[in-house]
Amino acid sequence: MKIYAVVNQKGGVGKTTSVINIGAYLASSGHRVLIVDMDPQSNATSGLGFDKSEISRSTYDLLLQAADIDELLVKYDESGLNLLPANPDLAGAEVELVNEMAREYRLKRALEQAEGRFDYVLIDCPPSLSLLTINALTAARDGVLVPVQCEYLALEGLSQLTQTLEMVRRYLNDRLEIRGMMMTMYDSRTNLSRQVVEEVRSHFPGKVFRTIIPRNVRLSEAPSYGQPINLYAPSSPGAMAYKVLTAELLKGDGDSVKAKEQ
Q: Is residue 30 part of a domain?
A: yes
Confidence bin at 197 (pLDDT 50/70/90): very high
Tell me: pLDDT of 236 over 80.
yes
Please report, to the nearest 10 degrees, the dihedral formed by the alpha carbons of residues 131, 20, 87, 49 taken in order.
180
Q: Is residue 12 part of a domain?
A: yes
3-state DSSP call for residue 81?
Answer: strand
Q: Say how far apart CA 248 and CA 26 lie, in whole Å.
A: 11
Non-local (6+) Cβ contacts of 115 within 8 A are 1
Q: DSSP E strands: which ranges in 89-229?
A: 120-124, 144-149, 178-184
- Mean pLDDT of the residues in the chain: 92
Q: Is residue 258 part of a domain?
A: no
Please report, to the nearest 10 degrees, the dihedral formed by the alpha carbons of residues 192, 195, 196, 197 taken in order.
130
Q: Which of 37-41, 74-78, 123-127, 195-199 has the lowest mean pLDDT?
A: 74-78
| Torsions phi, psi for 6 (to 5 deg) | -105, 115
Note the pLDDT of residue 129: 86
For residues 22 and 68, is the Cβ–Cβ distance under 8 A?
A: no
Count of C-beta atoms within a 10 Å radius of residue 252? 11
Q: CA triplet 40, 26, 211: central angle to 5 degrees? A: 90
Mean pLDDT (whole number) for 218-233: 96
Pick from 29, 4, 22: nearest CA to 79? 29
Q: Is residue 259 part of a domain?
A: no
> Taking the model in full, what pTM does it have?
0.94
Q: 129 lies in which domain range?
A: 2-252
Q: What percent of the chain has pLDDT over 90?
A: 82
Q: Is residue 98 part of a domain?
A: yes
CATH of the domain at 27: 3.40.50.300
Mean pLDDT (whole number) for 202-213: 96
Q: Say how far apart CA 15 and CA 124 lie, in whole Å.
A: 7
Split into its structural domains, the chain has a count of 1
Q: Which of 6-10, 59-63, 116-120, 158-162 has the lowest mean pLDDT?
A: 158-162
Note the pLDDT of residue 260: 39
- The alpha carbon of residue 8 and the mean position of all alpha carbons in its chain are separated, in whole angstroms, by 10
Q: Is residue 262 part of a domain?
A: no
Confidence bin at 262 (pLDDT 50/70/90): very low
Q: Is residue 236 part of a domain?
A: yes
Mean pLDDT (whole number) for 134-148: 97
Q: Say how far apart CA 229 and CA 213 lie, in whole Å.
A: 12
Q: Is residue 206 part of a domain?
A: yes
